[in-house]
Structure 1
């Protein structure tokens, strides 16, 4: 009964709020799938393009759950996931319609009340930080669902407590497993007092959002749109920005899946 009431309440909400609400709900379901697979210990690891580019059963199952659920609810909105997977013959609970009530209670800003389906793309990284997931470094792992409107990151879901970064320091976070000479030189040029090398693009942006670091530096191609959309949207709300070396902000238009964010 609670779910029926929830769906009826959602029906009167603006499209963008319904998508955010559904994204939060399905992200929580996906997180439970990821935890259950870890507990069972049957990770089903395969290499996609090398030892640092892995896929696990958690990636596959979580993405199928997220994409199938969002596509069923919003069939005309593109949902682009990191993994190249089919969504045939899925368990019934993967197709469950659900909404987060706290999101539905929020007031939609006037400028987004009439956003159309054709203006929206949903970007999904089911397990951001897969390599760290396989090593049991679960604090590096996030499930990212980002929503772009006309090519600009506008929404993402993450619970956090914002604090100011430590004064008198310059803490930089960067990649844990994809470093090279250019990245090292770029980080050192920032004259850091401390360097945090951690996994997961989403995790590193969230460290910045939470005020645990002063900047995230990754002077290399490699991040994808599903890595950055959700955390970028939240970063904007606290006055931060995600740019390239020339301070050019990234666009999140629907493009070929192998295109990189530079």
Structure 2
């Protein structure tokens, strides 16, 4: 059956799964060649040729297939840049289209959707050889809420030997579920919390400690942290910083919510992902599979007060390629 006969949302998810795998190939090829082309965008904020090329592929491919849908990408690339046709991925993932679209999402229109793209989440770790931290994130928001997401892990299983299959794709739709991994719950007698490994400060540390961790796991990438959460390796993801962006959390939030988890700011307020929203998650990030309100209650009020109000500002700019 032709992909055009399926609901718009499922077609976007299917195309996103397909192009995420293509982006993973691009990332692996860049690293294999050894020409990373590192650019420093700011303090502890790097960009590589893998980031740039993966975004060109993802945004151009999705824009070609869904020209009326708003797409925001992390990397600031020229909207007039000509993209080689070899970078366009036109395929659809059959494993998505065989699933039934939730009733409430079957009639979603183009103008109700925003796609948030982080072509390489965990760039710093990528440059340091911590390859299992790296993910490709494609989040799909409907009417401002994260409703579907794709997390592609290009280096999953990369140390398993020369004959191992490297890379995996996890995707989810709220109301349908999440696929591509085995959901597990963390040990009941512990309280393991994951947070940033490269963007820590006093407030980040205090927020984590206030949640009474038995162990703290410091890793890179929002996508990687949520993978640890959904696979039962940690109990919560706590990040008391304004450095996280919408493209970091949209896809992970949808995948997490689709299996019953929760991702909000530190005050428990849901994220917004409409096309005029500020790109920064100025309220910080708190994600859990269970007991979300307990973790919200443990964040000190002085920290919540520091993250309660988003600054004024104009809308983020749409990436067009």
Normalising by the smaller structure, the TM-score range is: over 0.9
CA drift at 1:202:
1.2
1:88-110 per-position Cα deviation (integer Å, ceiling 9, x unaligned): 22221222311001101010011
Matched, 1:33 2:26: yes
The 2-side partners of 1:253 and 1:124 are apart by: 14
Determine the structure 1 residue equivalent to 2:232: 211
Structure number with the higher helix fraction is 1
State the aligned residue count.
254
Matched, 1:18 2:41: no
Determine the structure 2 residue equivalent to 1:85: 77
Determine the structure 2 residue equivalent to 1:181: 202
The change in CA–CA distance for 1:62 and 1:79 in structure 2 (over 3 A counts) is: same
Determine the structure 2 residue equivalent to 1:253: 274
Task: Give the root-mean-square deviation of aligned CA atoms.
Answer: 1.3
Structure number with the higher strand fraction is 2
Partners of 2:244 and 2:280 within 8 A in 1: no
The 1-side partners of 2:27 and 2:111 are apart by: 31
Determine the structure 1 residue equivalent to 2:181: 160
Q: SS at the partner of 1:42?
A: coil
Structure 1: stretches of 5+ with no match in the other structure: 1-7
Determine the structure 2 residue equivalent to 1:46: 39
The 1-side partners of 2:48 and 2:266 are apart by: 32
Partners of 2:243 and 2:280 within 8 A in 1: no
Q: SS at the partner of 2:118?
A: strand
CA drift at 1:250:
0.8
Matches within 5 A, 1:125-144: 125-144=118-137
Q: 1:233 aligns with which of 210, 232, 254?
A: 254
Output the TM-score relative to the length of structure 1: 0.94
Partners of 1:151 and 1:252 within 8 A in 2: yes
Matched, 1:244 2:237: no
Output the TM-score relative to the length of structure 2: 0.77
Partners of 1:22 and 1:99 within 8 A in 2: yes
Matched, 1:112 2:133: no
The 1-side partners of 2:90 and 2:223 are apart by: 26
Matched, 1:55 2:76: no
Structure 2: stretches of 5+ with no match in the other structure: 151-169, 171-179, 284-321
1:39-88 per-position Cα deviation (integer Å, ceiling 9, x unaligned): 111100010012x1000000000000000000000000011100011362
